[in-house]
Structure 1
Amino acid sequence: MASSGNPCFWNEFELKKPPLVTLQVENTGFAKHVYVDINRFLLQQCGEKETKEFDETAALIGRLMARRKNSFRNVPGFRTVCKLNAALCRLLRLDLARDLEQFRGTLPDVCDGDSDGVLPTRSSFQFILVRLLSFYHLHERIRECCISAATYFTQLLRNNFFMDFVTLLLAAIAKINKLSTLQASHSADLYNRLWPQVPNFPQVEKHRFLMDNQDLPAKLSSPVSTKEVTSPTPAPVLMKPKEVVTRVERAKSDVGTVIARKEPSNTLRSAKPKFNAAEVLATVEDAQRFIARETKARNQNPPPESCLTMRISKHEWLAAQTLFQRKLGKDPAKALSIFRKFIISKIK
């Protein structure tokens, strides 16, 4: 039975299922709508193609995480991928399709025209709603992790870090985010259809599933409409044609008072010479001396003004050194080129 006083009882792993009891009732006409809604969800959710794509993509993310566990152990984005993998593993333990099929089997035959029949108790129906809540919120967690991880690894990709691995990881994250959004939309739609039917199921005080201080939400918000997710082409956007400017007229409006700014003197300009990567990082030996000099300066507290890499975060600086040393044994020229591009992008 659900624990008392816990508003997130749906998040419990060992949520005890109430006993499956059926009672004779006079009106079962509404049950056909419940049967049809559950059947539609199972056809949408358990499609062979969609399920296979989701499982394969989730397995790919798990393998990528295990393969690069030592390389990205201290990277914030990788910790988010670990949380994403944990949410995907937890989703595998939640066999929603099995619970829905068992509950659907207890409903009266939809082809039976009689109004009376047997129905499962309200507790069994509420257990199905709680399972839908778990499914919905797990997908919400998955999408949050996808957005957070993609934001970080996109920045690495812009700096030419681990391009092959990051490209594959971003593609897997984007695909799992799309499939998760679609599944969450289906579960929210089913929940919103089933929740109004709760009073129609018979209640047994002995087998109550929810306590007095536990309430189920009346409605779940769909992350995006199903049509928007499955639409292959975006809606056409009508663009207003721009007017062709044939001459430039002087503006007559008041633009305020123009304040002249003094240019810095030549002495000030020459005081801080511009960083020239072609000279400072001309050879591999120059790059190694640059790394040693900057690392020594960064370890001082506070770093001196001559430290050129003060704005580079600690994990980015360590990742740049690791990539440089790894590429150095295979292709020194490529290692120097990648390191030089990184330094240029950070020092402006």
Structure 2
Amino acid sequence: MASLHFWNEFELKKPPLVTLHVNDTGFAKNVFVVTNRYLNQLSGPDYLEFNQTAALIGRLMARRKNSFRCMPGFRAVCKLNAALCRLLRLDLPRELEHFRGALPDACDEELSGEMPTRNSLEFILVRLIAFHRLHERIRDCCEATVKYFGQMIRSNFFMEFLTLLIAAVAKINKLSLLQANNCATLYNKLQPQLTKFPLVEKHKFIPENCNLPTQLRLIKAGQPLVPAEEAPSASVKLQTQLPPLVTKVEKAKERAKADVGTVVARKSPKAASTQPTFQLDSLATVEDVKHFIVRESKARKKTPDSCVTKAIQNHEWLAATTLFERKLQAREQKKALNVFRKYIDSKI
């Protein structure tokens, strides 16, 4: 049995839970406290939220099983779901409750009592290693899933489904990191107490070629799973931040910005010939206005772009001339002249 895969066995045979009488039970108090604290953490809201999110990922995987079955990212989702199911099958809380129940009720250096054997604690430590390794596997699958489906969501493929999937995977990754660190903390506190438990030679649990690690490493957020000093030089290091993804649309936009064309010398346009400006003083009398109306009416029909009143719309010009004629018919020559002059002054 290889030491590297000892913790990963599905059918790991549990040693019998045997208690032996010891004269000193003072060390059992610390074991009971850290075990009880960890069990309280497993029954907290984060653990329940982890189980609910894991169930959601399983349902999302089943919903798109036919559509995404050939995609590499979906294979990572399937592996993630398998790791979550294996974590559920491990049932670490039950094993810890059995071990805690075997500890003596009263613990003191001067008190003797019944203590579980060293093999029982070794079994708990192996289960903690499996729990910790499974959470590493879960985070690896989360990174592979987000890396693949992140490219799809940037291309607007399956937007609603992938948004929900990535959110669930990110939540699992965050809670998995928290549970793995709690597990490593418990292991690091229980492992030094191993030699204080009574040993039964007949119930030897760990093979001779297997050695339990002295500590499990705590992982910080954004920290790679393999430390730099332990990673081989030829291996590729995991990046904490993924490189920015560039889609085809963004590449096309960059090319369009880069292609600015060739600078061509252009001749300055000739200055437009200035047209003679209209003098409002030329409309001094009613007769001047009548001649102006006749002249402009003809010019508006022949050359509408070059006439003096080209800025005035046809219906506005018709309304102004009609109003002028009505004022003349009402014998209000002065008022007709003033109104028409003000109107022409405001438009030209």
State the TM bucket, normalised to the shorter chain.
0.5 to 0.7
- 1:309-328 paired onto structure 2 within 5 Å: none
CA contact (8 A) 2:128 2:183 kept: yes
Indicate the SS of the match to 1:119: strand
Aligned pair partner of 2:21 in 24, 44, 69: 24
Q: 1:14 Cα shift?
A: 0.8
* TM-score, structure 1 as length reference: 0.63
Change (3 A) 1:346 1:82: farther
Q: 1:5 Cα shift?
A: 3.4
Indicate the SS of the match to 1:11: coil
Change (3 A) 1:5 1:35: same
1:213-255: CA deviations, max 9, x gaps? 1100000001128xx9xxxxxxxxxxxxxxxxxxxxxxxxxxx
1:46-98: CA deviations, max 9, x gaps? 21x22321111111111111111111111111110010000001111011111
CA contact (8 A) 1:188 1:220 kept: yes
Matched residues in 1 for 2:183 and 2:100: separation? 16
Query: Which residue number corresponds to residue 267 of structure 1?
Result: none
Q: Does 1:164 align with 2:160?
A: yes
Matched residues in 2 for 1:40 and 1:115: separation? 24
Q: Does 1:46 align with 2:43?
A: yes
Q: 1:345 Cα shift?
A: 4.3
* TM-score, structure 2 as length reference: 0.63
Structural RMSD (CA):
1.8
Query: Which residue number corresponds to residue 190 of structure 1?
Result: 186
In the alignment, structure 2 segments of 5+ residues that lack a partner are 224-246, 256-348
Query: Which residue number corresponds to residue 129 of structure 2?
Result: 133
Query: Which residue number corresponds to residue 37 of structure 1?
Result: 34
Matched residues in 2 for 1:111 and 1:32: separation? 6
1:96-155: CA deviations, max 9, x gaps? 111101101111114667421111110011000001111111111001100111111111
Query: Which residue number corresponds to residue 298 of structure 1?
Result: none
CA contact (8 A) 2:24 2:108 kept: no
Matched residues in 2 for 1:111 and 1:118: separation? 10
In the alignment, structure 1 segments of 5+ residues that lack a partner are 229-341
Q: Does 1:81 align with 2:77?
A: yes
Matched residues in 2 for 1:76 and 1:146: separation? 13
Aligned pair partner of 2:103 in 107, 115, 119: 107
Task: Give the number of aligned pairs.
Answer: 229
Q: 1:344 Cα shift?
A: 3.4
Q: 1:45 Cα shift?
A: 1.7
Matched residues in 1 for 2:48 and 2:251: separation? 42
Change (3 A) 1:79 1:346: farther
Matched residues in 2 for 1:6 and 1:218: separation? 14
Query: Which residue number corresponds to residue 215 of structure 2?
Result: 219
State the percentage of identical aligned residues.
62
1:260-311: CA deviations, max 9, x gaps? xxxxxxxxxxxxxxxxxxxxxxxxxxxxxxxxxxxxxxxxxxxxxxxxxxxx
Matched residues in 2 for 1:214 and 1:343: separation? 52
1:5-40: CA deviations, max 9, x gaps? 343111111111001111111111100000000001
- 1:1-348 paired onto structure 2 within 5 Å: 4-47=1-44, 49-110=45-106, 114-224=110-220, 344-345=249-250, 348=255
CA contact (8 A) 1:45 1:186 kept: no
Change (3 A) 1:177 1:67: same
Q: 1:157 Cα shift?
A: 1.1
CA contact (8 A) 1:159 1:345 kept: no
Matched residues in 1 for 2:135 and 2:110: separation? 40
CA contact (8 A) 2:25 2:107 kept: no
**Paired amino acid for 1:71:** S
Matched residues in 1 for 2:216 and 2:107: separation? 31
CA contact (8 A) 2:28 2:107 kept: no
Change (3 A) 1:23 1:53: same
CA contact (8 A) 1:122 1:204 kept: yes
Matched residues in 1 for 2:212 and 2:167: separation? 36
1:152-191: CA deviations, max 9, x gaps? 1111111111111110000000000011111001000000
Matched residues in 1 for 2:2 and 2:128: separation? 20
Query: Which residue number corresponds to residue 311 of structure 2?
Result: none
